[in-house]
Amino acid sequence: MNRNYLIFDIRRTMRNRRVLIFSILMPLVLFMIFGLTIPKDASEGGISAIAYVMVSMAMFGSMSAAMSSGGVIAAERDGGWNRTLRLTPLKPQAYVVNKVILSLLLAIPPLLCVFAFGMIFGHVHLSLTQWLTVAAVSWLGALPFAAIGLVIGYIAKPDSVQPITGLSTMLIAAFGGLWLPVDQMPSIMKHIAQLTPAYWTGLTSRSALTTGGVDTQALLVVLGWTVVLGFIGLRRYRADTARA
Amino acid sequence: MTTTTAVSLRGVTKKYADVQAVAGVDLTIRAGEVVALLGPNGAGKSTTIEMLLGLVKPDQGTVQVYDGTPVEAIAQGTVGVMLQSGGIIEDAKVGELLNLVAGLHKDPMPVEQALERAGIADLAGRVMKGLSGGQKQRVRFAMAIIPQPDLIVLDEPTTGMDVESRRDFWASMHEETARGRTVLFATHYLEEADSYADRVVLMRQGRVVADGTAAQIKASVSGRTIRATIPGADLAALASLPGVRNVETRGEVVLLQCADSDNTLRHLLENTTAHDIEVTSADLEDAVLAISDQVKEQDKAQETLA
């Protein structure tokens, strides 16, 4: 990790507020549509339905925010910036780790906002430990999406990175059961859902609501996704800078 | 211990698909030299530079920068690079960008100093996007010197600059070479190679076709021309002097093209009444064109043989 670079990236992101605001507004709006309209006593798999939707939307928000770092990478590639970096002592791993940390930071505001909404307007009541566990697990759940952002950043051109990110966010969220519970879909959908990292991140986050603990198997799948995608991102970084 | 060799390329080749971009280059640059890599587009300058920076792997041959590989030299921050275009972040401020680059190096110079030396102290707060081409080049130059490198490599540094900013740029560059830095720059401006380099390496079709000081290259082709007023000159005698290739007259003024102007000059002063003597060399452009023609002829001859 390179601290200067991280500060630089944060400043740059703050200047480009559109992405940040969009990543917060989108899950909030969805939460209002799908969450606040639910009767208070409804439940889904032993969890109050509104808490279920809250966690899903928070996950959705943090995941789309985390993936938006792909736009930063695509823009840097387009300008030949990666080539400049190759001509400095910065190690490829440090670049990739930096962008993953940036993604994780971007994932925090939507998480917090959706949780605050759920607490205030959705009247979701959780113990402090549950809040903290859900927040921590949901935050870590952004990791595989940070890695997806990395990969998209290397595959897409700057002008196509937004639609590609948008489309993949929606597909992953929809098929991964973040918008509608997988249990309410035909069983084939459950098999498809299991192929997306979102299913597993949703599972880990919600496990904190029911048991107070964390589904370790799901967490391992999430970390597995992160490692594999992160590795692909690293490979792409090296290949990409070899000759631009 | 001091290393006296900054860059060493040995038998380096690189082929892209059907194009032999670099066809066997040997080049040694000693520490402290200012070398111009001169040649038309497609001569292999950029590929040669990319190989010596470790961005591109040569098909054959070896590249050494100081005591190690290019990648090692880059990792140690001993090389500062200014690329031809791109290589910056458009939505960043100049100061931010330089701060970032400084943070990537072990022993950078203060950002203010880099801004100062590149002549852009007033631009620190400006966003890159709004800068002119020449101003961006200066930012790239600041980025190249910020690591306090021993070797500075510049690929066509003045492309897109107007005459005045080009002159200012070379003035800044001069301060760096005065500090003893080794410099390699690619250019297709003959005038820049002529004025700013200690040594000119002329490339054509992936090969080095001439290597020496600008004066040597000029002389190697057409020698020098002596222009003198010689009343009643014996033209036949002058033409038979060793090294004299051609004699022309314009009234009493005689033009002698000679391979060894020093000797011819000595003869003129000792044995004739020559006065108002001027010795001029062909300009670099003539030389480059002549060398290029020679290379073309050789290539044709080889093709006929094959």
What distance in Å separates the CA atoms of residue A227 and residue B61, rounded to the nearest whole number? 37
- What's the CATH architecture for B224-281? 2-Layer Sandwich (3.30)
| ipTM metric | 0.79
A163, A165, A167, A172 alpha-carbon torsion, rounded to 10°: 180
- Domain B5-218 bears CATH identifier 2.60.40.4070: no
Average pLDDT, chain A: 86
Helix crossing, A69-78 with A3-15: angle to 10°? 100
Instruction: List the alpha helices (DSSP H) in chain B.
Output: 45-52, 70-75, 94-103, 111-117, 133-145, 163-178, 190-196, 214-222, 235-239, 261-271, 284-305
CA distance A90 to chain B (A): 6
Q: Where are the domains of chain A?
A: 3-242
- A89 to B75: CB separation less than 8 angstroms, yes or no: yes
- Identify residues of A whose CB sits under 8 angstroms from chain B CBs: 2-5, 8, 11-12, 15-16, 75-76, 79-81, 83-90, 241-243
Condensed to tens digits (0 to 9), the pLDDT of residues B31-71 reads 999 999 998 888 899 999 999 999 899 999 999 999 999 99
Are A83 and B50 inside 8 Å of each other by CB?
A: no
- Rounded to whole angstroms, how far apart are CA atoms A208 and A59? 13
CB A168 within 8 A of CB A198: no
pTM equals 0.78
Q: From the list B75, B87, B103, which residue is nearest A5 (CB)?
A: B103
- Which of B75, B96, B106 lies closest to A8 in CB terms? B96
A52 has which bridge partners?
none
- Give the DSSP letter of residue B282: P
The whole-angstrom distance between B22's CA and the closest CA on chain A is: 16
A155 to chain B, closest Cα gap in Å: 19
Q: Model confidence at B3, in pLDDT bands (50, 70, 90)?
A: low
Boundaries of every domain in chain B: 5-218, 224-281
Q: Which residues of A touch B136 (CB under 8 A)?
A: none
- To test the contact with chain A by mutation, choose from B53, B56, B89 the residue with the greatest count of A C-beta atoms within 10 A, namely B89
CB B81 to CB A87 under 8 A? yes
Q: Which of A6, A15, A19, A87 to mutate to test the interface with B (most CBs of B within 10 A)?
A: A87
Q: What's the pLDDT tens digit per position in A175-222?
A: 888 887 877 778 888 888 888 888 888 888 888 787 666 788 888 888
